[in-house]
Amino acid sequence: MPADEGSLAHRRHVPSRLVAVESLTDHLDLDKIFGRRVPLHVDLGCGDGSFLCALAQRMPDKNFLGIERLLNRVRTSARKAATLDNVRLLRMESFYAVRYLLPAESVERFYLLFPDPWPKRRHHQRRIVTPDFFGSIHAALEKNGSIYIATDDVDYFGKIREVAESDPSFAIGDADADLPQSRFGLIFRQKGSPIHSLELRKVSPVK
C-alpha cells in the first residue's frame, strides 16, 4: 500500500479508496479493485471528486473510477468517497491510464469535464483531446459506450468537435444535461460562462 494511502486511512479513519498500481504496463484488474463486475464509469481529471461521488451515489449499481494527477485532489476525492463502496481513485496521467491500464472494452462511459484548455496557441499541443486520445478512448469503451465532454472554452470546444467529426469511429450525439455539477462546472455557471458539451458514442466497425 503506498505511504499516502496508509497515512490517509490512519489519520482520517476512512477506508482507502486509492488504487495501488502494481504495474505500469499490465491492465488493471478491475474485478479485484472493485470486488465485483458491473459497468464502469471513468471520470478523467476528476479534480476534487464532487462530480464523481455525486454520480456514484446516484448509481450504486455501477463502478466509478476517478483519474487525477494531482495528489491533493486525489486525497480530497478519496475523503469524499469514504462512504461510497463503488468509487476508486487512481493517481495517474489520464491519457496514459486510458491507453495502457484500462482493459479493452471495459468502460461504459467516460467523463471529461473542463479539461485544462491551454488557451495560448503555443500550448495547444498540451491539450488532452487529440485523434490519438480518441483512439485510446475508443479501444477502452464497451460496445455503444460513450464519452461525455464539457468545457467553458469555446475555442477548445471547436477543436474537440473538429477532431470528433473527422473520426468515423464515433457518432456525435446530444449531451446528457441531467448530470451533477462538478466543482469547475459550478464555478463557471456562477460566473455566467456558457458551457459547451457533447457526447460521443462508440461506433463499432461492421464485421
Grid coordinates given for 184? 469547475
How far is 57 from 87, CA to CA, in rounded Å? 9
Query: Which residue of the chain is nearest ligand SAM when measured via CB?
Result: 45
Q: Does 145 bind ligand SAM (CB under 6 A)?
A: no
Query: Site for ligand SAM (CB under 6 A): how many residues?
Result: 20
Q: Does 116 bind ligand SAM (CB under 6 A)?
A: yes
How far is 11 from 6, CA to CA, in rounded Å? 9
How far is 21 from 26, CA to CA, in rounded Å? 9
Q: Does 182 bind ligand SAM (CB under 6 A)?
A: yes
The interface region with ligand SAM, picked from 24-32, 111-119, 139-147, 164-172 by CB under 6 A, is 111-119
Query: Could you tell me if 98 and 136 are in contact, meaning their C-beta atoms sit under 8 angstroms apart?
Result: yes
Among 45, 76, 77, 170, indicate the residue that binds ligand SAM (CB under 6 A): 45
The interface region with ligand SAM, picked from 40-48, 102-110, 136-144, 172-180 by CB under 6 A, is 40-48
The interface region with ligand SAM, picked from 11-19, 139-147, 178-186, 195-203 by CB under 6 A, is 178-186
For residue 74, count CB atoms less than 10 angstroms from its CB and return exposed for 0-12, middle for 13-18, buried for 19 or more. Answer: buried
Q: How far is the CB of 145 from ligand SAM (least distance, A)?
A: 19
Active site residues: 116
Q: Does 151 bind ligand SAM (CB under 6 A)?
A: no
Q: Is the four-CA dihedral 89, 92, 93, 98 of positive or negative sign?
A: negative
The interface region with ligand SAM, picked from 10-18, 108-116, 132-140, 192-200 by CB under 6 A, is 108-116
How far is 151 from 136, CA to CA, in rounded Å? 20
Q: Residue 170: enclosing H or E segment and its boundaries?
A: strand 170-173
- Length, in residues, of the chain: 207
For residue 54, count CB atoms less than 10 angstroms from its CB and return exposed for 0-12, middle for 13-18, buried for 19 or more. Answer: middle
Q: Does 49 bind ligand SAM (CB under 6 A)?
A: no
Task: Print the binding letters for residues 64-83 with ligand SAM: x by CB under 6 A, - otherwise.
Answer: ---xxxx--x----------
Please report, as ranges, the residues that interact with ligand SAM according to CB under 6 A.
45-47, 51, 67-70, 73, 93-95, 113-114, 116, 128, 182-185
